[in-house]
Amino acid sequence: MRFRLPATLTPRSLAGRLFLSAVVLSGLVLVTAATILSAINRRSVEAAFDERLKLYLKVLVADVASLTDGGNVEPGNLGEPQFQIPLSGWYWQIIRIERANGATNLLRASRSLFSARLPSLVGADANASRSDFRDGYVKGPGDKRIRLVEQEIDLGEQNRFVISVAGNAEEIADESRRFDFTLVIILTILSIALAVSALFQVRFGLEPLRRLIQSLGEVRTGQKEHVEGDFPTEVAPLAQELNQLLDVNREIVARARGQVGNLAHALKTPLSVLINEAKAEPGLLADKVREQSVVMRDQVQYYLDRARAAARAVTVGNLTDIEPVLRSLIRAFEKIYRDRDIAFATDIETERRFRGEKQDLEEMLGNLVDNAGKWAHSKVRVEIGDEPDSQAAPMIHLIVDDDGPGLPESARIEATKRGRRLDETKPGSGLGLSIVVDLAALYGGSLSLGDSPLGGLRAKLVLPAL
């Protein structure tokens, strides 16, 4: 018996519940981590981009401050060729604000602006730093999205200046996309690794249960009497309880067998006395007493046999080899029916064993072979093979054929009823087939009667096997 994860991991499976919960929780953690890391990275890229723009802005501020010394504002391209390419997305401009009337004049601008002007962040939803920097996203020339940093410089009598530097916001987006793509790849690999790890943890964590199931299977098949193995602290109490339950079950069965045996002896002796006394006294009353005493003895024997079989059937760990039982029965019946020259043939096509008590198999198979021998003209055949129609647990069939007169279909149900004898000329109590039916039912099997290829009756007994 091998433990394996179910083919479809569903919440109905313990392994599936553990695996799916681990995968879902890991997925939620990874998605949350990816969202946070992506946001942190975007802010970091944005901050680095702003620092780059502020560096250019500081150079422009220094050049504007030189106006107080009578210099000219000629910042050139600030070491960035993009400022020279028209509509490149990289721009700078210096605006003068007249102190007297507040009028604005474009003092200088990068060649990339061409004839356009950068919008101002004054009044816009922009961030201000400790140095009065304002930054934000705006639409630049050509409706391209740009990142703008500006600062207002007040030079006193030299009026005020608004210096702006802008960069292509696509560079921030591209850098963020590259990071997100790398992050997705890394987290995908990590998620696969976590899924494999969860699968391993489930298998490793449920290994004690697999060993417990295997040990129980060995107890059920009769290989062991108790659940054996070194189990973790969570599973060990369960194994101990199972062993105690098995011990109690065996004790109850043993006690029941003893009581059944005592009852059998207690009833058989008085009935034997009644039968013997009735035989010694002639008369109708004695005949009636003898007749009813025989009936009582047969009924008591029937129910005692049934009780013993029920006690044996509820026990676990019973396996019986079929071939030795069959060979022993055939040898016995060959001697019993030697005077009638009945030939007994066997055909064993399976190596499976009967999952039950040897005594019960002997009683069931013996009753069927005995019944076939009573009615056969010259031949009885016993076939044992796997039952192809069994779906869940493995089953075997024991087929007994004879070449006798057979049995009409209407009489077959009556033949299996307790105490029914269809022909009083044949010896017996009429309990044989009914005992077989009851015993087979206790083990989850069945008995059916049909037409035999030999011309007589076919009895098919289906029993559990291993």
| pLDDT tens-digit series, residues 168-223 | 999 999 999 999 999 999 999 999 999 999 888 888 888 888 888 888 887 876 67
Q: Which residues of 370-406 are buried (b: 16+ CB within 10 A; e: fewer)?
A: bbbbbbbeebbbbbbeebeeeeeeebbbbbbbbbbeb
- Whether 337 and 286 map to the same domain: the answer is no
- Whether 342 and 460 map to the same domain: the answer is yes
- Whether 279 and 333 map to the same domain: the answer is no
- Whether 378 and 296 map to the same domain: the answer is no
| pLDDT tens-digit series, residues 408-460 | 887 877 777 654 444 444 444 445 687 888 888 888 889 999 999 999 999 99
- Whether 349 and 437 map to the same domain: the answer is yes
Does 278 fall in a domain? yes
Domain boundary among 313, 346, 370: 313
Does 14 fall in a domain? no
Pairing type for strands 379-386 and 343-348 reads parallel
Residue 304: which domain range? 236-313
- Whether 383 and 332 map to the same domain: the answer is yes
Q: Total domain count for the chain?
A: 2
Torsion, CA 246, CA 250, CA 252, CA 257, rounded to 10: 160
Q: Tokens at residue 322, please?
A: 């079929």
- Whether 407 and 330 map to the same domain: the answer is yes
Q: Is the pTM of this model over 0.85?
A: no
Q: In what order do the strands lie in the sheet with 133-139?
A: 104-109, 91-97, 160-168, 145-154, 133-139, 127-128
- Whether 309 and 328 map to the same domain: the answer is no
Mean pLDDT of the chain: 81
Does 18 fall in a domain? no
Does 424 fall in a domain? yes
- Whether 435 and 349 map to the same domain: the answer is yes
| pLDDT tens-digit series, residues 242-254 | 888 888 887 877 7
- Whether 342 and 261 map to the same domain: the answer is no
Does 455 fall in a domain? yes
pLDDT of residue 430: 43
The residue assigned the tokens 């000329």 is: 425
- Whether 257 and 333 map to the same domain: the answer is no
The residue assigned the tokens 């035999």 is: 452
Does 290 fall in a domain? yes
Does 33 fall in a domain? no
Domain boundary among 269, 293, 313: 313
Does 266 fall in a domain? yes
Domain boundary among 253, 284, 313: 313
Regions of the chain where pLDDT drops below 70 = 1-11, 67-77, 123-131, 156-158, 221-222, 257-258, 260-261, 264-265, 299, 302-317, 390-392, 417-432
